[in-house]
Amino acid sequence: MTESTGGIEVEEETAGRVKKFMFVNRKAPYGTIYALEGLEVVLISAAFDQDVSLAFVDDGVYELVKGQATKGIDVKNFSPTYRALEGYDIEKLYVDAESLKARGLTEENLIVPVEVLSNEEMADLMAGQDVVISF
């Protein structure tokens, strides 16, 4: 644990401080590394017992599309990791309804259960965070 968290004594340094962290995913997978390395931050954040939310907006919704098969491009398919987030107690996955609709997608196309939010709901949720890290 100390290696993955950068040698920080999680318990001592950040004890009792729970902030609202939102990771805003706005990039499609594979074309660039942002989605994958973003997911790595999300996994590490689980060690800090913070109030973590993930938002999928714009091309970020493509990260969650079912049926990704990356053998042909010889890149690791990291989409199953989104299904594993529950095991890290990261259960707040929010998808921007308009981004989904604009791409001809519905919840049925996604690899994990998510909460689909309207513009207003997403705007409120984002504005209510302590820390917003965007990829």
Sheet strands (E) in 1-105: 20-25, 51-56, 92-96
Interacting residues with other proteins between 18 and 57 (CB under 8 A): 19, 21, 24, 26, 33-34, 37, 40-41, 44-45, 47-48, 50, 57
Which residue's entry shows tokens 């709901």?
Answer: 121
Q: What is the dihedral of CA 95, 60, 47, 70, to 10 degrees?
A: 120
CA distances from 127 to 77, 80, 91, 124 (A): 32, 29, 19, 5
Contact characters 80-119, other proteins, x per CB under 8 A:
----------------x-xx-------------------x
Pick from 54, 77, 100, 131: which binds other proteins (CB under 8 A)? 131
Compute the distance between CA of residue 55 and CA of residue 115 in angstroms, rounded to an integer.
10
Residues lying near other proteins in the complex (CB under 8 A) are found at: 3-8, 10, 13-14, 17, 19, 21, 24, 26, 33-34, 37, 40-41, 44-45, 47-48, 50, 57-58, 96, 98-99, 119, 122-124, 126-127, 129-135
